[in-house]
A and B are shown apart, each in its own frame.
Chain A
Amino acid sequence: MVKVGVLALQGAVREHIRSVEECGVEGIAIKKVDQLKEVDGLILPGGESTAMRRLIDKYGFMDALKEFAAEGKPMFGTCAGLILLAKNLVGHEPHIGVMDITVERNSFGRQVDSFEADLAIKDVSDNFPAVFIRAPHIVEAGAEVEILSKHNDRIVAAREGQFLGCSFHPELTENHDITAYFVDMVKEAKAKQLV
């Protein structure tokens, strides 16, 4: 059985773990760098990206996360996690910088502009209840990036091979379709490694 980690430095960790478990696989909260070895895929949860980045640096997670990506293991970033994955950020230096996208932070406005909307997400759902909280969006996607969903012409979900990212918070809803999609990515990646 595959194991999916959730980076547990700050943010909506418990909800992601519950969602992973709902998909029938084991979810592990990753607080220490060594734990990354135990998991086949990693979710970077929603939270505050600046706070997470400070803790990533403090505990030497950065190299380990880049290595995790280099090993071809799937990574899924939601909201702040999407910001951590992006190769380019508008007005800021990138963080892990592995997914070929440019992301703008807080691009829908402040908290009073946070919203819910139903989305069609390619290969995932025709009607996904998406919760956007001070959300970022993908301004530009590289040639290899598959755009999975748009909201008002803005890219809000995309995949590039092993990397999956979205602007919204699937962990705040009871719909586990996108988590299940990611768990399938993890299973496929692990099967390939075993061959």
Chain B
Amino acid sequence: MKTGTDRVKRGMAEMQKGGVIMDVVNAEQARIAEEAGAVAVMALERVPSDIRAAGGVARMADPRIIEEVLNAVSIPVMAKARIGHIVEARVLEAMGVDYIDESEVLTPADEEYHLYKSDFTVPFVCGCRDLGEAARRIGEGASMLRTKGEPGTGNIVEAVRHMRKVNGQVRKVVGMNEDELMTEAKLLGAPFELLLEIKRLGRLPVVNFAAGGVATPADAALMMQLGADGVFVGSGIFKSENPAKFARAIVEATTHYQDYKLIAELSKELGAPMKGIEISSLSPENRMQERGW
């Protein structure tokens, strides 16, 4: 009997496919998310848009909030640790969190090194903007990927950019000859063995979800069409006027992402989505996606 194997850690993310993972800040929100059909919740102290508004250093959530959420729902509970913060990650693992997001939404603890995630029993999800970044994270032991997008903006444009970029680069690798892959690995800054594996499988070896800017059911469906395996929704749900209704609509749009009549129906009278931020109005130091490498 073996725990913490790649198969067990990656397999856990496979089970989330086609589903929606929702940011929650307390037990009540977690129950609303579970009731709406979320496949997991991300327990946070503040959603990304509030982290953005508050400024200062954003850290791992208060363990009491995480404990409260762990006790409130039967679906998996994820939590965020700062990039490179070994102890925050170990604390979350010790608490029995089901997945850790080594996340650029929090202020990085290490500007040079990410966590060596293979050392942990608990699986990790990490953000990526391109295949090089995706492959480096998998190389360190990430069992699941997500686009970085631009969290807390309610603007889908960056998530679209990142999903298209990664998938385009995967297609390129799959179409290349083996003798071209080492040079591609050098150019991407990606582990060579992973490119070989991607070529053999015809896809990434782990699931890749959309995250960072999903604000409407149509946004979620768009990301699924672009090849996302599922969707993270952060600020979008509990910053909307009717979170329960909004959450259900996002879940359905993710399942039936090509059923446009249905998406039209469930987008009706949802109330105002979060206001959103135009990306060009964010100065580079305020772009969370620039954190990590």
- Are A48 and B3 in touch, CB under 8 angstroms? no
* The one of A9, A10, A114 that contacts B12, using a Cβ cutoff of 8 Å: A114
Residues facing A in B59-76 (CB within 8 A) are 74-76
Centre residue among A51, A79, A117 by max chain B CB count within 10 A? A51
The number of chain A residues touching the other chain, given as a range, is 35 or more
* The one of A11, A31, A105, A111 that contacts B17, using a Cβ cutoff of 8 Å: A11
- Are B74 and A51 in touch, CB under 8 angstroms? no
Given A111-B99, A111-B123, A115-B3, check contact A51 B17 (CB 8 Å). no
Instruction: Write out, one digit per residue, whether chain A residues 104-125 have a CB within 8 A of any chain B CB (1) or not (0).
Output: 0110001111111100000000
Interface membership of B14, Cβ < 8 A:
yes
Interface membership of A13, Cβ < 8 A:
yes
Centre residue among A31, A50, A114, A117 by max chain B CB count within 10 A? A114
- Are A54 and B98 in touch, CB under 8 angstroms? no
> Taking the nearest CB of chain B, how far is it from the CB of A5, in angstroms?
16
Residues facing A in B118-173 (CB within 8 A) are 121-123
Given A112-B121, A116-B5, check contact A172 B37 (CB 8 Å). no
Interface membership of B205, Cβ < 8 A:
no
Give the chain A neighbours of B252 by CB distance below 8 A.
55, 58
> Taking the nearest CB of chain B, how far is it from the CB of A142, in angstroms?
25
Instruction: Write out, one digit per residue, whether chain B residues 12-56 have a CB within 8 A of any chain A CB (1) or not (0).
Output: 101111110000000000000011111110000000000000000
Given A9-B255, A50-B74, A116-B5, check contact A111 B12 (CB 8 Å). yes
Centre residue among A46, A48, A115 by max chain B CB count within 10 A? A48
* The one of B1, B39, B121, B122 that contacts A10, using a Cβ cutoff of 8 Å: B39
The interface of chain B, by Cβ under 8 A from chain A, is 1-5, 7-9, 11-12, 14-19, 34-40, 74-76, 93, 96-99, 121-123, 248, 251-252, 255-256
5 smallest CB-CB distances across A and B, nearest first, come from A54-B37, A111-B98, A48-B39, A10-B18, A51-B37
17 further contact pairs, Cβ within 8 A, besides A10-B19, A48-B39, A115-B5: A8-B18, A11-B15, A11-B17, A47-B19, A48-B76, A50-B75, A51-B19, A51-B39, A51-B75, A54-B37, A55-B255, A106-B74, A110-B98, A111-B12, A111-B97, A172-B11, A173-B7
